Amino acid sequence: MSQEHNQEKCHKQEKCERQENCEKNRNCEKKENCEKNKCCEKSENGENDLQSLIKALQEENEVLKKQAEQSAEFKENWYRSRADFENFKKRNNETRKIAYEEGKLDIIKKILVVGDNLERAVATVADEKTKQGLEMVVRQFKDTLLNLGVTEIDPIGEEFDPSKAEAVMMADASEGEKSGTVKQVFLKGYSLGDKIIRFAQVVVIK
């Protein structure tokens, strides 16, 4: 009996040990599986977070790239508009200058006839007081032309210059006169800077 009892007791102990080992193994496996699952979840979450971050950075980079392109375009348009405006100002100033000069020339040409008539009157008037009055008006007229930048062309005694005068007649040379010089001025010429307003009409010695 004692031996059977001992054997039975041994069997029970072995059975308990097996059950205990099984429980331990199950617990270990569960724990290991849990840790693996947690690691996998962490890894997956980490990968997802990294992918999200990369995507966000790419989107932000695209936004910055578009903003940089727009900024460059706005800057280029601004420079172009400024250049166009400066060119417009230059053209406008040039147009105004040309219009002013043309208007000025037109007025000067008209008043030159008045000066011609005044000088003819001085040459023909007999009364001395009247002549002095006319001479004073002629001087004022010439001063006005000078203030406008107009220069008188009166080449008498000078060598004939076709760029300033027009030969309307040829005359024989008198004693001491040189061929090709201006003997007489029928009508004085005038210039404004480098521009001839009116050519002088002269008689040139043959």
For the chain, which residues make up each domain, given as ranges?
A: 152-206
Residue 158 is predicted with a pLDDT of: 94
Nearest by Cα to 156 from 92, 200, 109, 96: 200
Tell me: pLDDT of 102 over 80. yes
The mean-pLDDT minimum among 75-84, 124-133, 196-205 falls in 75-84
3-class secondary-structure state, position 196: strand
Q: Residue 179 is encoded by which pair of tokens? A: 């061929």
CATH assignment of 152-206?
A: 2.30.22.10
Residue 57 is predicted with a pLDDT of: 83
Q: At residue 162, what are phi and psi to the nearest 5 degrees?
A: -65, -15
CB of 109 within 8 A of CB of 198? yes
Residue 166 is predicted with a pLDDT of: 95
The CA dihedral of 73, 77, 78, 82, to the nearest 10 degrees, is 160
Residue 73 is predicted with a pLDDT of: 84
CB of 112 within 8 A of CB of 141? no
First to last CA, the chain: 177
Dist CA 58 CA 193 (whole Å): 69
Residue 26 is predicted with a pLDDT of: 65
Tell me: pLDDT of 145 over 80. yes
Nearest by Cα to 167 from 196, 195, 189: 189
The number of beta carbons lying within 10 Å of the beta carbon of residue 145 is: 19
CB of 184 within 8 A of CB of 156? yes
CB of 156 within 8 A of CB of 189? no
pTM of the predicted model as reported, rounded to 2 decimal places: 0.55
Type of residue found at 144: T
Tell me: pLDDT of 41 over 90. no
Dist CA 177 CA 161 (whole Å): 17
Cα angle 30-35-37, degrees, rounded to a multiple of 5:
90
Q: Residue 194 is encoded by which pair of tokens? A: 């480098």
